[in-house]
A and B are shown apart, each in its own frame.
Chain A
Amino acid sequence: MSSKPVLHYVNARGKMECIRWLLAAAGVEFEEKFIETSEDLEKLRKDGKLMFEQVPMVEIDGMTLVQTRAILNYIATKYDLSGKDMKERALIDMYTEGIIDLGDMIMQLVLCPPDEKQAKISLIKDRTKNRYLPAFEKVLKSHGQDYLVGNRLSRVDIHLLELLLYVEEIDSSLLAPFPLLQALKSRLSSLPNVKKFLQPGSQRKPPTDEKTIEKARKVFKFK
């Protein structure tokens, strides 16, 4: 058994990408076993490795963890990216959950039927501009610090950076009204582990293309 965490998922962003980001930011090397066919998924299920028959699944420290948030929470705690106390963790959780809400909307776009896509994109842009980015700009403005919580790097800075990059992929002008978020994005992108992860050849996954979606449909047997 490897001492490095082993990530089980399809070769795509999906629900595993935020975990890849967090491990990378924490400077933790990890291995990936990609699910290529529905048989691969069935084997994991039959071997009893997936508590709820689903992936993501991460083998780490003798555990076989499923559920994205359980995995993220464990990694964040282990690598001291979870704040210094209960109250900092509450803020981190609150901010993270908002990020996940918007992130999930963006993630679902790739599965959206073409005739619904434009409406979904409009909604995402509206929420980005009017609900989520203003909320985080306000946090940074309120304390004037370099990080969202506790004046030091935590998981939520990484989650936000990841989200800002997806927002830019949709429409790069969306960040224009938010100077503090832009500054945060630059600052975080310069951190050595993050810089490395942003470069070609890292385990970061590209935008999900049609080929990847088709493959995922076959693996997970959904329409």
Chain B
Amino acid sequence: MAGKPLFHYDEARGRMESVRWLLAAAGVEYEEKFLQTNEDLEKLRSDGVLMFQQVPMVEVDGMRLVQTRAILNYFSSKYNLYGKDMKERALIDMYSEGLADLNELFIVYPYDPPGVKEAKIAQMKEKAKNRYFPAFEKVLKSHGQDFLVGNKLSKADIHLVEMIYNMEELDANIIANFPLLQALKTRISDMPNIKKFLQPGSRRQPPVDEKTVLKARKIFKF
């Protein structure tokens, strides 16, 4: 079936947000069907369209893809955001996976109980400032190019800029000591597709609030 990709998820950032960022960067339009109730999720399950009974799920090019990385990798290959060869892909994967580790904390923390949440926020800020952002500043410094890999935009740049925006919500000055990351953020943010995505009215989801958490608990029963 031709046509736009169709996203199935709840109306929240969660695990789908990095896919939204990626398609924004690629300039690709898509549709979204938001889960509103647990019945919506159970219907997808009983229709047999969720291989492991989970979302995210994306209908694209005749496939029903689940698993965030499978979805990201497919779109990255399709829209030339995955480097020019095996070795560039290895670097892109290494960088993306480091960011995914940090993102795992970021995705989950709004749903954590109060004590745990504060500890996670502190942990994320510490890791961002002392482990992840220095590593990427070092990469940019090492080659002096405008993008992380192969002097061309790739998924790694998108994931990194998304993460910078995420972390700035927790600490507005978090990349104060990373001039090359600041430059990358500016450069990417000025790209027409990203600029549009960053404006109100785009498909970008806002920070997870209490209402979204309560709704998610009902949908996913946790």
Contacts and interface: CB of A to CB of B under 8 A. Distances in A.
The majority secondary structure among interface residues of chain B is: helix
Contacts of A89: 73-74, 77
A101 B89 contact: no
Contacts of B135: 51-52
B52 A86 contact: no
Contacts of A51: 94, 98, 135
Contacts of A78: 86
A94 B63 CA distance: 11
Contacts of A87: 61, 63, 74
Interface stretch (B22-30, B64-72, B184-192): B64-72
A67 B98 contact: yes
A90 B70 contact: yes
B69 A93 contact: yes
Given A94-B70, A97-B69, A98-B67, A131 B53 contact: yes
Contacts of B197: none
Contacts of A135: 51-52
A131 B66 CA distance: 14
Interface in B88-135: 89-91, 93-94, 96-98, 101, 131-132, 135
B43 interface: no
Interface residues of B, number: 29
B221 interface: no
Q: How large is the interface on A (under 10, 10 to 19, 20 to 34, 35 or more residues)?
A: 20 to 34
Nearest to A62: B87
A18 interface: no
A66 interface: yes
Interface string A5-44: 0000000000000000000000000000000000000000
Nearest to B135: A51
A105 B135 CA distance: 29
A84 interface: no
Given A67-B94, A69-B93, A94 B87 contact: no
Given A63-B87, A95-B51, A135-B51, 14 more contacts: A51-B94, A52-B132, A53-B131, A67-B98, A69-B69, A74-B89, A74-B93, A77-B86, A87-B63, A93-B67, A94-B67, A98-B51, A98-B66, A98-B67
Interface of A: 51-53, 61, 63, 65-70, 73-74, 77-78, 86-87, 89-91, 93-98, 101, 131-132, 135
12 contacts: A63-B87, A65-B94, A67-B94, A70-B96, A70-B97, A73-B90, A74-B86, A87-B74, A90-B74, A93-B70, A93-B73, A131-B53
